[in-house]
Amino acid sequence: MENAKENILAIMQSIAENKLSKDCGTLQSATYNDQKVLISALFDSTRGYNTGIIMLRLVVIDSLYSTNAAYSYFSFEEMAEKTEEIAEEIAEYGDNEHYSIWYENWNKDEEGNDVIPEEKEVEPFLNIYMKQVEIPISNHLIEAVGKLNMANYVVIANEDGTYATITEIGYMEIGDQFKTVFLPGEICQDLVAPNGLSLNAQYSVTATNYKSQPACAIFGDDVKCFGLMNDAIGYVVPDNDFTMGDPVNHYQELISLGKNVGSALMAGLNGIKNEIVRV
């Protein structure tokens, strides 16, 4: 396992330094096929990696390709160590029919018996409610992209010179144990989960409070979120934390429809809640 940890650590560091291989040049200049050279090494059968371990490594590598990697809270060493912990867990429990890598704290008791996470019976019903909402477009960069026909959104041109588009949101319940909202973009989790820091003036770029409600205040603290559902309208950040003036720390806004997208989606979720009829 130590060799595997060293291998994945070296791969992560190599990607972070934009060094794919001596023949590929930098990450920015390499073609897609060139980039595959490094990733393909993960599938070298002589390394003895099983499918689960390969998938774990690809997840880590994918996170490093993402622009979010620049803001990671974890060091390469910590990510490599965690990856190995999960790989060891798969090796020990993978043959158990009840095991899933998504279970947390999987373990054995003092007598060596598997400790299976508690299961809950779910009521046999599925509720889904979908709704169209109008989203204002205030990002001038996105407006320019649209006018150059570089995107294929259907855009509404209002009489006052502003623009908007139509998207879809939703809400789903699986029995009485699981509920989630459907949102059509990459959502800042502060708009979903409780205690979102950027909703507070102290932590927002505009030094103002968020004036709408997050999803948890609408459907409860235990609500989940499925992002990029039925549409892809870009990043969605809280209105009070939106700025186009800091592309280093706020790159998301460059690929967002505008500053009021978050509150427009949350207003739509409030509409869903008010329109739901329980029978």
pLDDT band at 20 (very low <50, low <70, confident <90, very high): very low
Tens digits of residue pLDDT in 197-256: 999 999 999 999 999 999 999 999 999 999 999 999 999 999 999 999 888 788 899 999
In a domain, 120, yes or no: no
In a domain, 121, yes or no: no
Looking at per-residue confidence, does 50 or 276 come out higher? 276
Tens digits of residue pLDDT in 109-136: 777 676 766 777 888 999 999 999 999 9
Is 90 exceeded by the pLDDT of residue 26?
Answer: no
Looking at per-residue confidence, does 87 or 21 come out higher? 87
Tell me: do 153 and 246 sit in the same domain: yes
Tell me: do 176 and 195 sit in the same domain: yes
Tokens representing residue 148 in the block: 């150059």
Residue that is last in its domain, among 55, 81, 115: 115
Q: Which pTM does this prediction carry?
A: 0.68
In a domain, 84, yes or no: yes
Domain that holds residue 225: 126-275
Which range among 2-11, 128-137, 179-188 shows the weakest confidence by mean pLDDT?
2-11
Tell me: do 175 and 198 sit in the same domain: yes
Where do we find the tokens 């649209």?
Answer: 146
Looking at per-residue confidence, does 192 or 23 come out higher? 192
pLDDT, mean of residues 13-34? 46
Identity (one letter) of the amino acid at 137? Answer: I
Q: 235 Cβ partners below 8 Å, 6+ apart?
A: 185, 186, 188, 252, 253, 255, 256
Tell me: do 156 and 108 sit in the same domain: no
